[in-house]
Structure 1
Amino acid sequence: MAKIGIYGSSFDPITNVHLWTASTVAHRCRLDQVIFLPCSSKRKDKRLHTTDEHRWNMMTLAIEGNDTFVADDYEMKQEAWKLSTYETLKHFKEKYPNDDIYFIMGADLLIDIGNRKWAYAEELVKENKFIVMARNGIDMLKAISKSPILRNNDDGGTFQLIDKGLAMEISSTYIRDELALGGEPRYLLPEVCYEYVKEHRLYTS
């Protein structure tokens, strides 16, 4: 039985922090595989800044050569009505029926789920396991205890909290802003992705 982490994000673009986070989570949580899952441009809650094709190409370039990292375009292929984390995790549990599946997310998303801002929030928590990464200013234990959904569906193994040394705040937004305004974010994303961005003139104003 393998332990698999599902790491969903816009990856717009993928950054060195994404890669470092995935590597650190895999090491600390003893994951056999991390599946990088770029979200679809069809999602109504996301405002993306380049095409699915460019995001996918950069992500696959970034993880090439790491046997623990796998790219999956499941969400990109779904119709808009079927796009929810609950449906996505259901898919991966059916795809890997003999393995343990964990959804990797930041503590800010934990709060959103606890406040029922996600579709099927209660079913999502009740039926799945989560690896939650620290975010600056968020008390993860307090967030769980304050939410009836989170605290009443926590059997001790529902949430694996990673609260040491993972609150790095350099984001895709920061990189996009630098590129748009003529800044130099070269060493904040993989070199191959930086070259791809320059070649295709992505994120320029």
Structure 2
Amino acid sequence: MAKIGIYGSSFDPITNVHLWTASTVAHRCKLDQVIFLPCSGKRPDKTMQISDEHRWNMITLAIAGNDKFIPDDYEMNQPGWEIATYLTLNHFKTKYPADEIYFIMGADLLLDIGEGKWKKSQELISENKFIVMARDGINMLAAISKSPILRNADDGQTFHLIDKGLAMEISSSYIRDEFKRGGEPRYLVPDSCYTYIKNHQLYK
């Protein structure tokens, strides 16, 4: 039985911090694979700066050569109004029935789920497992204890909290702004993606 982490994000663009985070989580949590799951530009609650095609191409460039990292365009191919993490995880549990599936997310998203802001928050938490990465200023244990949705599912296996050394945050929006304003974010993204962005004149 393999352990698989689902790493969902806009990846607009994918950054070296995304790669470092995925690698660190895989190492610490003994994951066999990390699936990079870009969200769809069709989602009504998201506004992407570039097309799904460009984001997908950069993900495949960024993770090339790492056998543990796999790109998956499942959400990109779904109708925007039907996309929900609960349904997405059901898809992957069906796709990998013999394996353990974990959803990788930041502590800020844990807060949102605990407040019931996500579709099917209750079912999402009660039926799945999560790897939660620290975010500055968020006490993850306190967040779990304050939320009935979270604390009633806290059986010692639902949440794997990583609270040391993963608070490095260089956002994709910062990198987009650097490109837009003539800055030099070269070493914040993989070299292949930097070249791709320059060649296609993205984020201008």
Normalised TM-score (structure 1): 0.99
In structure 2, the partner of 1:103 is 103
SS of match in other structure, 1:161: strand
Matched letter for residue 83 of structure 1 = I
The answer to whether 1:186 aligns with 2:179 is no
Matched letter for residue 195 of structure 1 = T
SS of match in other structure, 2:131: strand
SS of match in other structure, 1:156: coil
5+ residue gaps in structure 1? none
In structure 1, the partner of 2:75 is 75
Report the RMSD for the aligned CA atoms in angstroms: 0.5
In structure 2, the partner of 1:125 is 125
Q: Alpha-carbon deviations, 1:20-40, whole Å to 9, x = none?
A: 000000000000000000000
* Percentage of matched positions with identical amino acids: 75
Matched letter for residue 124 of structure 2 = L
Rounded Cα–Cα distance in structure 2 between residues aligned with 1:120 and 1:201: 39
Matched letter for residue 78 of structure 2 = Q
5+ residue gaps in structure 2? none
The answer to whether 1:26 aligns with 2:31 is no
SS of match in other structure, 2:55: helix
Rounded Cα–Cα distance in structure 2 between residues aligned with 1:170 and 1:159: 25
Q: Is the 8 A contact 2:44 2:81 kept in 1?
A: no
In structure 1, the partner of 2:35 is 35
In structure 1, the partner of 2:58 is 58
SS of match in other structure, 1:173: helix
Which contiguous aligned blocks of 4+ residues in structure 1 show a shift greater than 3 angstroms?
A: none
CA deviation after TM superposition for structure 1 residue 81, in Å: 2.5
CA deviation after TM superposition for structure 1 residue 47, in Å: 1.1
Q: Is the 8 A contact 2:179 2:185 kept in 1?
A: yes
Paired residue total:
204
SS of match in other structure, 1:60: helix
Rounded Cα–Cα distance in structure 2 between residues aligned with 1:118 and 1:21: 23
CA deviation after TM superposition for structure 1 residue 43, in Å: 0.9
Rounded Cα–Cα distance in structure 2 between residues aligned with 1:168 and 1:46: 23
CA deviation after TM superposition for structure 1 residue 11, in Å: 0.3
Q: Is the 8 A contact 2:5 2:34 kept in 1?
A: yes
In structure 1, the partner of 2:49 is 49
The answer to whether 1:11 aligns with 2:11 is yes
CA deviation after TM superposition for structure 1 residue 121, in Å: 0.3
CA deviation after TM superposition for structure 1 residue 197, in Å: 0.3
Q: Alpha-carbon deviations, 1:91-118, whole Å to 9, x = none?
A: 0000000000000000000000001110
